[in-house]
Amino acid sequence: MRVCVRDESGGAVADASVQVQGDSGRRVVSDATGCASLTVLGEQSRLEVAHAGFDGVVRALGDEAEIAVVLRVAAREEAVEVTAARTPLALDASASSVRTMSPQQLEEAPALTLDDRLRQVAGFQLFRRTSSWVANPTTEGTSLRGLGSTAASRTLVLSDLVPLNDSFGGWIHWNEIPQLATREVELMRGGASDLYGSSAIGGVIDVMTVTPEKFGYAVDLSGASEATSILNGLLTAGDRNLSALGAVTLFRTDGYILTAPEARGAVDIPSNVHSQSGRVEMRHGVGSDGAVFLRGNLLNEARSNGTPLQTNATRIWRYATGADWTANEAGRFVLRLHGTNQGYRQSFSSIASNRATEKLTRLQVVPSAQMGGALQWARTWRALTVVAGSDVLDTRGTDDETPVSNGVHQATQSISARQRDTGVYGEALWQPRTWSIAFSSRVDWFNTFDAKAVGVKPTPVLPTVAETIFDPRLGVVKQLGGGVSLTASGFRAFRGPSMNELYRTGQVGQQTTLANPNLRSERATGWEAGGLVNVRHLGSVRSSYFWTQVNRPIAAVTLRSTPTSTLMQRQNLGQLESRGVSLEAEIRPMSFLTLTGGYQYANSTVTKFQADPTLVGKWTAQVPRNSATLQARMERQRWGVFSVDLRTSGQQFDDSANQFRLNGYAQVDLYAEHSLWERLRVYGSVQNLADSRIEAGRTPILTLASPRIVVFGLRFH
């Protein structure tokens, strides 16, 4: 029999051990092509394949003369990431700064939602400091590398090659994927448009989900202060080549009053949310490591935005199908087809200066739909891996606005448009001995067209925009030995304006932001250099210096401001620049103690803006200079788990003119867990232990981040 051993990208695995199970006397080793030949006696029916760094495979044999066996990278003994190169790669061979949040870290984080869990990574933050469990969805854009965000993110969030950024606005619905269906999260910092296209200026956040393989179940029930309750459930099943998954998260909270106590009035009420998300998936195995699948995801949520008349609601149906297969010598193929149907609505009001009364001013309904597809191929020849692919996103959206005057609904005004982003990319990864050199590039055709206004007087000019964008990237890693490696990379990246920025007027509190149909894409150039020290059994330290310059960044520029209201408009701001350093460490000084920490210094400022030179030198809105995290985790089998988390951030500004300063803060969180029986655990956490006053935004009314939150829960699995 001829046995050919491959890795997950389709590359040959040389020097793999191949033998009939229990018969080490006839063990053979695969050659440079990954293949080996051995004799199999009729009564022997199981083959065993192993290689250092991979999980071993034992499989039944039939009467075939040649078979292919795929080895998966061993689970986390050596850190491996896939996001930076779109193919499995050892962490010390990646030129990118990558942080992986493991299943354990996600589960034990003292947080209610995914975005709060990711705050353990220094430099990660939302547009404002408010968590997504009380924030307006349009403020849930995320920022990496000190580049800031508006409603839209300068960071791409995806899962299994499917973008999770809102199809109309670019913000993130952090509750969309049920909690127990999330396996781990990879955060890649630095421009990545060379492989991922629009929005990947600050980096890519890849949410990796549970793949059903066998029967399993889990239930997580918790309650928290502010009348909060969360129910998470997961059920998986598998038999031979068929497997399935079902997951659900039910989340509700009465929330808290966002407005600072000294500014509150009779109209201020808690910002509450009721949210339900569900996920189902069916998979059918193909060959030794291939599969076809069908997946559906639903998010339904309703929110109060802090006053009786300001509310919003979102419903998202997301569906995907695809296939993964290895075609022997041809390589590894990945196909994805996906679509989204979404409905979003929001109401707006004007509030009296004493915040005693409010009047409804506008109703907004925003339906949108998105369809996309991706095809990727990867192949390895000894030290060379080649990746190539193409993807397309087609989005259609409408903004229906109904003005309300003295309680009377006026004629509805509508603007509809269509966007399409088509890209092709390729990467060559060469790993000779102690080097890792990756060159990748991508061409995008980003178009906004078919824009129409109905009922709008005067009729606006809605231009058609077509842009062709080329984004290359070069990354180099030199391994010096002893677990030390040096890294360097340079890149170009871009972000196209969302339809929300082009056509929709938004309001948060008493801050109104006007749309601008003449916006153009943001273009970025940057480079990073750093090093990684990895000491076996002790831990690792990674540091890097980063510099990114963004031309035509889209920002909300203040047009008019009063003590109770602010009018802004989205504009291409000329140029901003972010430069700084980051440091991350994970150290295990004792068997029961793990220390994890990070620090980021980001000097992010406006460097050009001809329309208003007074903005030059101002801090980029919502970006602090200093931010840091530190966690100490202790585990004893008898007592369980106990961890202390510290998060701190320096001052920042809420606006481009730096008029509204937000003070720095420090927050301490606690987490404890104890096993009652083999499958039952009890846990508790305290967020913001000292009940610190954390300033979240000035719109221009001061709003606050969450107070002390106490959580108790049970996990059964």
Name beta bridge partners: 79.
none
Report whether 671 contacts 677 (CB < 8 A).
no
- Quick one: pLDDT at residue 458? 85
Three-state SS string over 419-467 comes to EEEEEEEEEEEECCCCEEEEEEEEEEEEEEEEEEEECCCCCCCCCCEEE
Three-state SS string over 450-515 comes to EEEEECCCCCCCCCCEEEEEEEEEEEEEEEEECCEEEEEEEEEEEECCCHHHHHCCEEECCEEEEC
Identity at 425, one-letter amino acid code: Y
Sequence-ordered list of residues with C-beta below 8 angstroms from that of 708, at least 6 positions apart, any chain: 225, 686, 687, 688, 689, 690, 691
| Sign of the C-alpha dihedral computed for residues 703, 708, 712 and 715 taken in this order | positive
The span from the CA of 109 to the CA of 174, in Å, is: 15
Report whether 102 contacts 37 (CB < 8 A).
no
| Sign of the C-alpha dihedral computed for residues 574, 495, 492 and 472 taken in this order | negative
Tokens, residue 482 = 């002893």
Report whether 253 contacts 227 (CB < 8 A).
yes
Q: Where do we find the tokens 């290689």?
A: 51
Least Cα distance to 415 among 521, 499, 477, 490 occurs for 499
Least Cα distance to 298 among 324, 320, 271, 322 occurs for 320
Give the DSSP letter of residue 91. Answer: G
Q: Where do we find the tokens 């948060």?
A: 508
Q: Where do we find the tokens 């943001």?
A: 522
> pLDDT for 610-653, tens place per residue?
888 999 999 998 999 999 999 999 998 888 999 999 999 999 99
The span from the CA of 49 to the CA of 61, in Å, is: 12
Tokens, residue 256 = 């808290």
The span from the CA of 663 to the CA of 696, in Å, is: 9
- Quick one: pLDDT at residue 128? 82
Least Cα distance to 300 among 280, 282, 321, 273 occurs for 273
DSSP notation for 383-420: TEEEEEEEEEEEEEEEEEEEEEETTEE---EEEEEEEE
Sequence-ordered list of residues with C-beta below 8 angstroms from that of 538, at least 6 positions apart, any chain: 587, 588, 589
The span from the CA of 505 to the CA of 631, in Å, is: 41
The span from the CA of 213 to the CA of 702, in Å, is: 49
Instruction: State yes or no: cis peptide before 270, omega within 30 of 0.
Output: no
Tokens, residue 41 = 């006696």
Identity at 614, one-letter amino acid code: T
Tokens, residue 458 = 């005067």
- Quick one: pLDDT at residue 656? 85
Q: What domains does the chain contain, in order, with CATH numbers?
A: 2-70 (2.60.40.1120), 80-206 (2.170.130.10), 207-716 (2.40.170.20)
The distance from CA 714 to its chain's CA centroid, rounded to whole angstroms, is 27
- Taking the C-alpha atoms of 607, 610, 611 and 615 in order, what is their torsion angle to the nearest 10 degrees? 30
- Quick one: pLDDT at residue 504? 86
- Quick one: pLDDT at residue 9? 64
- Regions of the chain where pLDDT drops below 70: 9, 22-25, 42-45, 52-53, 73-79, 509
Count of CB atoms situated within 10 Å of the CB of 478: 15
Least Cα distance to 124 among 116, 112, 132, 134 occurs for 116
Three-state SS string over 196-231 comes to HCCCCCCEEEEEEECCCCCCEEEEEEEEECCCEEEE
> pLDDT for 71-130, tens place per residue?
876 644 456 788 888 888 777 778 889 999 999 999 999 999 999 999 999 999 888 888
Q: Judging by beta carbons within 10 Å of its beta carbon (0-12, 13-18, 19+), is residue 706 exposed, middle or buried?
A: buried
